[in-house]
């Protein structure tokens, strides 16, 4: 039961949640949890292949979604099934590419190349959703990319294969961002993530079953559970956030993941806090804040950015409920 539905006062407050507030709130929360996911993957070690990590993440996600949301209804029922399947496959390729690139390249190179995905999201939003981008928004996007480059000390080190895989991941992540925003109009967060987990499990199962790596220590079980739980919560928050922002804008907000990852590394892993961290982080968060202000100023001129009643979508997140415009 969604306890917020029992409090009319809280319902009224949530119903007037503005897109300029809700979008950044959901996206930045998701970025923080994705940073936790990155740390768990890093700590898990190289004995677990990208296929192992992706399979555990996706299969664990299916189990949890079924246990939490699927006891009284068919959570596979959604709108536009072909697009749900395509989005699942696209997301699976993006995640596998990111993990593979980190294994083949220095993490700075892999992450900087991968975090070009907001630019690809802008391109796909223009092609698939016919969304325009003005000069100010383009400047914000460029500042995010510059900030990410400064933060991770951009150096094209490593082999061409790793660089190509990282760029491929950025392309597919940008496409996934755009497809989620399109699907979110008629589907709940749960069904979108469920199809991602299902398609990712199908894609990775053959390679995983050929040479599976099983956790045999308590710390490995903890990290794998952390990967499953952080990715599930982050993905649902991100999917819900697309009720309030356009595809490429969601990609910009999610780029703050690089800052959160660096903060966790400094706090818990002893990574140095150089001038690159402070300057790059300032550029990223500053441009995100500016973008939010620009969007707030256009709220009366954008038909695709309404203040949606957030409370109308229950915890079960029924397809289309609270998402149709």
Tens digit of pLDDT at every position of the chain (325 positions) = 444 434 444 444 444 566 677 888 888 899 889 888 888 887 888 899 999 999 999 999 999 999 999 888 899 999 999 999 999 999 999 999 999 887 777 666 677 778 777 777 877 887 888 777 778 878 887 887 787 777 665 555 556 777 788 889 988 998 998 898 889 888 888 899 999 999 999 999 999 999 999 999 999 999 999 999 999 999 888 878 877 877 566 767 777 787 787 777 777 766 666 777 678 777 876 776 676 566 555 544 544 443 333 323 333 343 333 333 3
User: DSSP assignment of 151-182, as one string?
Assistant: HTT----S-HHHHHHHHHHHHHHHHHHHHHHH
Give the whole-angstrom CA distance, residue 100 versus residue 95: 9
Q: Are the CB atoms for 311 and 15 separated by under 8 Å?
A: yes
Domain boundaries of the chain, sorted by first residue: 24-306
Handedness of CA 263, 264, 267, 273 (dihedral sign): negative
Q: Please give the sequence-ordered ranges of beta strands (E in DSSP) within the chain, or none if there are none.
A: none
Give the whole-angstrom CA distance, residue 214 versus residue 90: 26
**Residue whose entry in the numeric block shows the structure tokens 């939490």:** 68
Residues in the chain: 325
pLDDT at 180: 87
Give per-residue pLDDT as tens, 32-63.
898 888 888 878 888 999 999 999 999 999 99
Q: Cβ–Cβ contacts within 10 Å for residue 130, how many?
A: 8
Give per-residue pLDDT as tens, 250-308.
767 777 787 787 777 777 766 666 777 678 777 876 776 676 566 555 544 544 443 33
pLDDT at 118: 75
Give the whole-angstrom CA distance, residue 116 versus residue 148: 9
Give the whole-angstrom CA distance, residue 18 versus residue 22: 6
Phi, psi (rounded to 5 degrees) for 36: -60, -40
Handedness of CA 216, 218, 219, 224 (dihedral sign): positive
Helix (H) or strand (E) holding 227: helix 218-241
């Amino acid at each position: 039961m969604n306890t917020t539905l029992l409090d009319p006062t809280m319902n009224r407050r949530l119903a007037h949640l503005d897109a300029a507030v809700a979008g950044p709130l959901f996206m930045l929360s998701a970025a923080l949890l994705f940073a936790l996911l990155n740390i768990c993957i890093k700590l898990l070690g190289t004995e677990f292949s990208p296929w192992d990590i992706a399979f555990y993440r996706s299969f664990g996600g299916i189990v949890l979604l079924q246990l939490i949301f699927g006891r009284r209804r068919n959570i596979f029922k959604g709108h536009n099934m072909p697009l749900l399947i395509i989005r699942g496959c696209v997301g699976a390729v993006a995640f596998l590419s990111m993990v593979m690139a980190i294994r083949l390249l220095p993490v700075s190179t892999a992450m900087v190349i991968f975090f070009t995905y907001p630019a690809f999201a802008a391109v796909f939003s223009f092609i698939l959703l016919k969304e325009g981008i003005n000069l100010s928004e383009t400047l914000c996007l460029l500042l995010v990319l510059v900030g990410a480059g400064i933060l991770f000390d951009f150096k094209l080190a490593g082999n061409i294969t790793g660089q190509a895989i990282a760029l491929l991941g950025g392309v597919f992540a940008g496409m996934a961002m755009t497809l989620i925003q399109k699907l979110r109009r008629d589907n709940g967060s749960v069904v979108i993530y469920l199809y991602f987990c299902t398609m990712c499990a199908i894609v990775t199962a053959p390679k995983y079953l050929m040479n599976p790596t099983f956790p045999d220590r308590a710390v490995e079980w903890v990290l794998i559970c952390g990967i499953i739980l952080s990715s599930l919560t982050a993905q649902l928050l991100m999917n819900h956030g697309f009720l309030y922002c356009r595809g490429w804008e969601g990609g910009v907000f999610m780029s703050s993941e690089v800052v959160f990852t660096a903060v966790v590394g400094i706090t818990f892993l002893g990574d140095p806090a150089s001038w690159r961290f402070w300057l790059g982080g300032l550029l990223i968060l500053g441009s995100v804040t500016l973008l939010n202000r620009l969007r707030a100023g256009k709220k009366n001129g954008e038909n695709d950015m309404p203040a949606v009643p957030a409370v109308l979508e229950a915890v079960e997140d029924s397809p289309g409920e609270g998402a149709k415009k």
